[in-house]
Structure 1
Amino acid sequence: MSDIAETVPDSKCARLLGRILSGLVIVFLLFDGAIKLVPWPVVTETMDKMGYGSNESLARSLGVITVVCTVLYSIPPTSILGAILVTGYLGGAIASHVRIGSPLFSHTLFGLYLGLMLWGGLWLRDRNLRSLLPFRR
């Protein structure tokens, strides 16, 4: 059996797709972190609806965590650490949406969609990750 990591993903097209997926995730997470740093009223209102209260200090703390983890993900030498940290953050978001009974496909699973894009983009653009997590045919 040959690894797909050895045959397909080292192409320029795969790397470009990986960069696009990663770029979309980075832009979204930086925006998400930035609106929490301000924090916009929609942030504190949403936090209150989710049971965390409309605490601006907590919103800013979450914004800092989001931005720092995203920056770690965007820098190639620390991208795997950043991906692990962002995955944990997204898991907390999923758990929060499950707890309050948010709609499944639009809200609750959004963190899963973002996580798949995050890891998929990283897998396509990072040869070391492909060798660590090979897919077999």
Structure 2
Amino acid sequence: MNRTRKLRTTGWVLSGLISVFLIGASASGKLTSWEGKAEMFAKMGWSEDVMFRIGIVEVVIAVLFLVPRTAFVATILLAAYLGGATATHVRVGEAFFIPIVLGVLAWIALGLRQPEVLRLAFGKPSQHPESKGLK
């Protein structure tokens, strides 16, 4: 297996793990009923109804993140979503590093899957055929 293929495979595995975490660990807690849910969300300043809707948004973003044509936009949406999660955790005095790390990992995963993203992020010229000759 060549280096490029290994990097892309690593990006896909990381993307899958991120999506599984978003759907299985994070969104599932917003979409299911469990004891203490209302109190926990109230402490964070959110109602169960709002958190249910946020859970749906989270699932949609996680799925879009796995679709190559929508992955870039989904990563932008994911970064925005995780920014809100970070702000919420900071506001209530809880640990806030997990959403930050998850956002960074999402961009790394996308960059490994689609190397053009990393080239652009580091200010390198595009290697895309359509951009040749454009100034």
Q: Which residue of the other structure, out of 24, 44, 66, is the alignment partner of 1:74?
A: 66
Q: Deviations over 1:53-97 (max 9, x none)?
A: xx3211210111101111111111000110000110100011111
Give RMSD over aligned pairs.
Answer: 2.1
- Which runs of 5 or more residues in structure 2 are unaligned? 125-135
Q: Which amino acid aligns with 2:6?
A: C
Which is bigger in relative contact order (C-alpha 8 A, separation at least 6)? 1
Q: Does residue 15 of the first structure (1) align with residue 8 of the second (2)? A: yes
Partner amino acid for 1:44?
A: A
TM-score by length of 2: 0.80
| Aligned with 2:39 (options 22, 28, 45) | 45
Aligned partners of 1:37, 1:15: CA distance in 2, in Å?
Answer: 32
- The percent identity for this pair of structures is 36
Q: What is residue 85 of structure 1 aligned with on the other side?
A: 77
Matched ranges for 1:1-137 at <5 A: 11-31=4-24, 32-52=26-46, 55-102=47-94, 107-134=95-122
Residue ranges of structure 1 left out of the alignment (5+ in a row):
1-9
Distance (whole Å) between structure 2 residues aligned to residue 120 and residue 85 of structure 1: 15
Q: Which runs of 4+ in 1 moved over 6 A?
A: none
Counting matched residue pairs gives 122
Distance 2:51 2:74 in 1: 20
Residue 76 of structure 1 aligns to a residue whose secondary structure is coil
Displacement, 1:135? 6.7
1:42 is displaced (CA, Å) by 4.8
Q: Which has the larger radius of gyration?
A: 2
Q: Measure the CA separation in 1 of the matches of 2:36 and 2:17.
A: 22
